[in-house]
Amino acid sequence: MSASADPRSIVITGASSGIGAALARAYAAPGRVLGLTGRDAARLADTVAAARAAGAEVVEGLFDVRETAALTAWLQAFDEAHPVDLLVSNAGVVTGLQAGRSAEVTESAFRLVDVNLKGAIATVSALVERMRARRRGHIVLVSSLAGLYAHPDLPSYSASKAAVRFYGDALRQWLKGSVEVTVVCPGFVTSPMSSRHIGPKPFEISADKAAGLIRRGIARRKALIAFPWPLVLPIWFANLVPARVADFFMGGFAAEIEPDAETARERAGGTGAP
């Protein structure tokens, strides 16, 4: 049985809530070791408690993926003790245009790229040569449907998630024959992050349902896991038709993103795009 079908040592970043927490619950079982990281102590503690209650051994890491030295040291120490079968880079944040659809605050956009893209690269970089040397393991990068076709109200988020998707595509080609690579592009999934999205959220599903879809796709070693299909199909179509036609379709998804604490501070002192 492949590592993807029955991983025994699993790392999930961004495990405090949403998809990350749901994946931790989905994989938690006796005989499994979970390495769970996050930056929200209370939420991470809840995820850890649930995984332990299901019989899993859990090692937790409380830090931000922007803390590259701490992230790398923790991941490599975990791998020394429990060689990683499945590495899920899930940590992410979202921000969007300001009120009146004015430009994003530059600091917010930079922070988003640091977390969503640089954090993913740092996560993979810490372990990829170890996994490659073992010729075993599976790397999963969580992107978004916004990484398949840009959301007009989420410029930096769309850019970061598209970059994660292409980073994963490149990794898959490089690591072919040694380490499996999967990119996940979810639609709207109920989570604290999604709750800040004010606008249409068609076909929104629970984090637990999303985790089930992702887990099945990982077990099948799929290169791309994208859902829900009622949104995926129009997005593929949008990439084939003239831009004006696709832009008309995206006009129905206008949204505002309520600022988190860091974004609120950045907006209070920021000036938007330079």
Q: Residues 6 or more apart from 273 whose CB is under 8 A from it?
A: 103, 104, 106
Of 27, 149, 157, 167, catalytic? 157
Residue 5 has a pLDDT of: 75
227-267 pLDDT, tens digit each:
999 999 999 998 999 988 888 877 667 777 777 777 777 77
Three-state DSSP at 61 gives strand
pLDDT confidence of 168, banded at 50, 70, 90?
very high
Gap between the terminal Cα atoms of the chain: 53
Residue 2 has a pLDDT of: 58
Backbone angles phi, psi at 230, to 5 degrees: -65, -20
pLDDT confidence of 270, banded at 50, 70, 90?
low
Residue ranges per domain, the chain? 9-269
Greatest extent of the chain over all pairs of C-alpha atoms, in Å = 54
Mean pLDDT of the chain: 92
Distances (CA, A) of 179 to 30, 127, 168, 171, 182: 25, 11, 12, 9, 10
Helices (H) and strands (E) in the chain, counts: 11, 9
Nearest to 202 by CA among 254, 247, 237: 254
User: What global pTM score does this model have?
Assistant: 0.92
Position 97: which residue type?
Answer: L
- Tell me which fold the domain 9-269 belongs to: Rossmann fold (3.40.50)
Q: What is the mean pLDDT of residues 78-102?
A: 94
**Residue for token digits 């019989």?**
55
Cis peptide before 228 (omega within 30 of 0): yes
By the 10 Å C-beta count (0-12 exposed, 13-18 middle, 19+ buried), 55 is classed as exposed
Nearest to 151 by CA among 257, 31, 264, 251: 251
Answer yes or no: 167 catalytic. Answer: no
Number of Cβ within a 10 Å radius of residue 22 = 25
Q: Residues 6 or more apart from 85 whose CB is under 8 A from it?
A: 3, 4, 7, 8, 9, 10, 136, 137, 138
